[in-house]
Amino acid sequence: MPDPVAPSAQPFSPASASDYLPGPQLRALQLSRLQATVARAYERVPLFRERCEQHGVTPAAIQGLDDLRHLPFTVKDDLRETYPFGLFASPREEIVRLHASSGTTGKPIVVAYTHDDLAVWSEVVARTLSACGVHPGDTVQNAFGYGLFTGGLGAHYGAERLGATVIPISGGNTERQMMVMRDLGVTTLCATPSYFLHLLERAHAAGLDWPNLPLRVGVFGAEPWTEAMRQRIERESGIRAYDIYGLSEIIGPGVGSECCAQQGLHIFEDHFYPEIIDPATGEPLPDGEEGELVLTTLSKQAMPMIRYRTRDITAIIPEPCDCGRTLRRIQRIGRRSDDMFIIRGINVFPAQVETALLAVEGTLPHYQITLARQGSLDQMEVAVEVTESVLSDTVGGMEALRKRLADALEHVIGLRVGVRLAEPQSLPRSEGKAKRVIDNREG
């Protein structure tokens, strides 16, 4: 006798997931979902309708995926200004979950989910874990924070949906994390990469024997990390470390994930449509070019996001992946367009400055960028703190260092900029995000 079961109760099968849809079929699915999402938002979200009217577009303008470019962007401030419920597209009684950002700067933002949204979320996180080599029957220690943050519950329901055993330990309490990892046969850890590095350091001291642990996979996200960090994690712990991508405004974790190839992150583009734009002009860029990632949700009900500007800088990798997934990939994200500034028509990121300083000195010194206007010309100066390893006892030695730094910066940025050597500990430091760029230009 067939049992009427909810779709989410059926066993999850990665092979039947939409990761492998042939291109034309995927594009057709995206277009029909996009048209439905735009119509829903237009009908139910006053801010979106107003913006469309200002732009002179209606949902009927969406005849193909390329027509997305005619629609207005959504930015984080839109969520703040309509706080708490202004962008909801479902009646309150259909909303079964709310999450919120911590709101360290100004108002927090609130995001909402219907039953179906939660089912989609679980599915994309299950596909994330599957792409990272996690299987039904694996034991997942979930050290993402549980609560208003989307990381903990997002990973939790995704792991259950996959058919893994979840240990909902949340973040913190390193001793207990290590005990659980050792005693409960944990094969997979979900955490921020920096927390895992902390665990790694503490575990060595506590005598935790990495090679003899069953831990095999690390699923790392919620903060940017580097390829160098991955190599250190994999070398010291013997696990495979995967980068995942997500943001609460779109759904939480589950927007994109690396696969066994570890060459970029597949976007689950049957649910989230990616575009890359020039952050200065807003114009879409072709696949392969670097710019700001813009995401449009294709199936979200409670809170559809149309052309949400993530501020994350990346490029779409159009080439097919070795793993066989047909989903397009993005490059690993290392910088944000918030940090970008323009000098004499050139887009500059602090990350580029860091690359140059690192190339000269071997380690990254503390630095600060100051922009000023002299006459009609913009000037950029990079102040770099002198450290013991680069200190010379001659003026000639220090001038040579200054020239090497200026040459390296010119090579990376394409512009000759001023370099000022500064005393150690003399540049301002701030909690968390250091204030790297001081813009003294007027207007």
Can residue 393 be called a binding residue for another protein (CB under 8 A)? Answer: yes
Q: Which stretch binds another protein (CB under 8 A): 86-94, 232-240, 392-400, 428-436?
A: 392-400
The tokens for 418 are: 């001023």
Q: Which is nearer to another protein, 132 or 383 (CB)?
A: 383
Q: How far is the CB of 389 from another protein (least distance, A)?
A: 9
Side chain identity at residue 233, one-letter code: I
Gyration radius of the chain's alpha carbons: 24
Q: Which stretch binds another protein (CB under 8 A): 82-90, 103-111, 212-220, 394-402?
A: 394-402
Can residue 392 be called a binding residue for another protein (CB under 8 A)? Answer: yes
Q: What is the DSSP-derived secondary structure letter of residue 432?
A: S
Can residue 425 be called a binding residue for another protein (CB under 8 A)? Answer: yes
Q: Shortest CA distance to 127 belongs to which of 21, 229, 3, 29?
A: 21
Q: Shortest CA distance to 252 belongs to which of 124, 343, 133?
A: 124
Q: Draw the binding track, 150-189, toward another protein (x: CB under 8 A; -: no contact).
A: ----------------------------------------
Q: How far is the CB of 361 from another protein (least distance, A)?
A: 12
Can residue 403 be called a binding residue for another protein (CB under 8 A)? Answer: no
Quote the distance between the C-alpha of residue 313 and its chain's center: 9
Can residue 387 be called a binding residue for another protein (CB under 8 A)? Answer: yes
Per rule CB under 8 A, count of chain residues that contact another protein: 17
Q: Which stretch binds another protein (CB under 8 A): 78-86, 169-177, 269-277, 389-397?
A: 389-397
Q: How far is the CB of 426 from another protein (least distance, A)?
A: 7
Q: Shortest CA distance to 233 belongs to which of 214, 257, 258, 216?
A: 216
Q: Which is nearer to another protein, 261 or 386 (CB)?
A: 386
Can residue 57 be called a binding residue for another protein (CB under 8 A)? Answer: no
Contact 336, 271 (CB under 8 A): no
Q: Which is nearer to another protein, 423 or 442 (CB)?
A: 423
Q: How far is the CB of 428 from another protein (least distance, A)?
A: 14
Q: Which stretch binds another protein (CB under 8 A): 15-23, 136-144, 156-164, 421-429?
A: 421-429
| Distance from C-alpha of 315 to C-alpha of 267, rounded to nearest angstrom | 12
Half-sphere exposure of 395 (CA within 13 A, CB side): 0
Q: Which is nearer to another protein, 15 or 395 (CB)?
A: 395
Q: How far is the CB of 434 from another protein (least distance, A)?
A: 17
Q: Which is nearer to another protein, 32 or 392 (CB)?
A: 392
333 Cβ neighbours under 8 A, 6+ residues apart: 224, 245, 293, 312, 313, 314
Can residue 399 be called a binding residue for another protein (CB under 8 A)? Answer: yes
Find the binder of another protein among 285, 351, 421, 437 (CB under 8 A).
421
Can residue 429 be called a binding residue for another protein (CB under 8 A)? Answer: no
Can residue 363 be called a binding residue for another protein (CB under 8 A)? Answer: no
Q: How far is the CB of 408 from another protein (least distance, A)?
A: 19
Quote the distance between the C-alpha of residue 71 and its chain's center: 23
| Distance from C-alpha of 209 to C-alpha of 213, rounded to nearest angstrom | 7
Can residue 428 be called a binding residue for another protein (CB under 8 A)? Answer: no
The tokens for 250 are: 């779109």
Quote the distance between the C-alpha of residue 17 and its chain's center: 23
Can residue 431 be called a binding residue for another protein (CB under 8 A)? Answer: no
Residue 82 parent element (H or E): none
State the pairing for strand pair 367-374/308-317.
unpaired
Q: Which is nearer to another protein, 285 or 421 (CB)?
A: 421
Q: How far is the CB of 405 from another protein (least distance, A)?
A: 13
Q: What is the DSSP-derived secondary structure letter of residue 93?
A: G
Cis geometry, peptide bond prior to residue 279 (ω within 30 degrees of 0): no
Side chain identity at residue 394, one-letter code: T
Residue ranges in 166-221 assigned as alpha helix (H): 174-183, 193-206
Can residue 434 be called a binding residue for another protein (CB under 8 A)? Answer: no
Question: For the chain, how far is it from start to end, CA to CA, in angstroms?
Answer: 73
* Binding footprint of another protein on the chain (CB under 8 A): 386-388, 391-395, 398-399, 420-426
